[in-house]
Amino acid sequence: MSTTPAGARTVERTFDLLELVADRGGATARELADELGLPLSTVYRLAADLVARDYLLHLRHEGRFELGYKPHRLGLALHRQIGLSAQVRQRIVDLHRATGCAAYLAVRRGATLALIFVADSPECPRLEPMTFGFRQAPHATAFGKILLADLDDTERQVELARHGLPALTPRTITDTGVLEAHLARVTRRGVAWEFEEFLPGSSCAAVAVRRPDGGLLGCVAVSAGAARFDGPDLRIEHRLRMAARDVAAYFRRVDPDVLTH
């Protein structure tokens, strides 16, 4: 028997339903019920609440539910809150063009680093799951390692307990002691690398973006096919450090409030 309070279960089911509609680009009540394992009556009740609050639309003639307009407004509010400027976006685009790699910017939000901008191209595509808000698998991503190396021991244990150390590929670090030694090297060198630890056939590098007091503001990163990197590339590291310096300088000059978040 579940020990989750009934109210919490309702909230979980509501979000599960909303996310499923978003992932599928719309769905019928029957499809939602089958996928979520819920009675049809429960799906209609949850969906009706979401429709009333503009999170979903009910296309009655088609018998389908699609996203309403409230999620879009929330997304716009999040982008305004993060406040990524055209100048910073252009700097990441420049990094992409200079390195021939997909380039990323992640910012610290609470205890995580979340991806907020990617510059890529058909010739240099992003790693497939890395879209806006991505923050999973910190033990296996270069920008995740930047975060883990910056946390104190207690914070790092909490973060690793939240995500675990799943083996995403045969090269993923899954031993805590090995990871701690690896993170110590990240701290010493100021750059994090991963070689096919997150996705087979892909490698990534990242450098921290820091506040004047040394606190972690975010990081810049690049990824490319594993054949491109058989070990740390000093030229890539140099370009990452220059990009991180420029992004930090922009925030100091134009948006000092972000330095206190």
Q: What is the pLDDT of residue 108?
A: 87
DSSP state at residue 58:
E
Note whether 146 and 226 are same-domain residues: yes
In-domain check, residue 78: no
Q: What is the pLDDT of residue 1?
A: 43
Give the end of a domain, one of 72, 98, 118: 72
Note whether 64 and 89 are same-domain residues: no
Note whether 181 and 241 are same-domain residues: yes
Q: What is the pLDDT of residue 119?
A: 94
Q: How many domains, in total, are found in the chain?
A: 2
Instruction: Identify the CATH number of the domain in which residue 122 sits.
Output: 3.30.450.40
Residue 192 corresponds to which tokens in the numbers above?
């994090």
Residue 211 corresponds to which tokens in the numbers above?
């506040």
Q: What is the pLDDT of residue 259?
A: 44
Percent of the chain with pLDDT strictly greater than 70: 91
Condensed to tens digits (0 to 9), the pLDDT of residues 4-54 reads: 577 788 899 999 999 999 989 999 999 999 999 999 999 999 999 999 999
Residue type, 7: G
Whole-prediction pTM value?
A: 0.71
Q: What is the pLDDT of residue 176?
A: 93
Question: Which residue matches tokens 């972000």?
Answer: 258
DSSP state at residue 257:
G
Residue 16: which residues within 8 A CB-CB, separation 6 or more?
36
Residue 62 corresponds to which tokens in the numbers above?
């088609």
Q: What are φ and ψ of residue 122, in 5° steps?
A: -55, -30
In-domain check, residue 128: yes
Regions of the chain where pLDDT drops below 50: 1, 258-261
Of 49, 66, 69, 50, which Cα lies nearest the Cα of 58?
Answer: 66
DSSP symbols for 177-232 = HHHHHHHHHHHHHT-EEEESSSSTTEEEEEEEEE-TTS-EEEEEEEEEEGGG-SS-
As separate numbers, helices (DSSP H) first and strands (DSSP E) second, the chain gives 9, 7
In-domain check, residue 116: yes
Domain limits for position 60: 6-72
Residue 258 corresponds to which tokens in the numbers above?
């972000």
216-225 vs 202-210, strand pairing mode: antiparallel
Q: What is the pLDDT of residue 7?
A: 75
Q: Whole-angstrom Cα distance, residue 59 to residue 65? A: 6
Instruction: Identify the CATH number of the domain in which residue 40 sits.
Output: 1.10.10.10
In-domain check, residue 1: no
Note whether 149 and 26 are same-domain residues: no
Computed from CA positions of residues 196, 197, 200, 205, in that sequence, does the dihedral angle turn out positive or negative? negative
Note whether 65 and 111 are same-domain residues: no
Give the end of a domain, one of 18, 39, 72: 72
Give the end of a domain, one of 72, 105, 122: 72
Note whether 243 and 137 are same-domain residues: yes
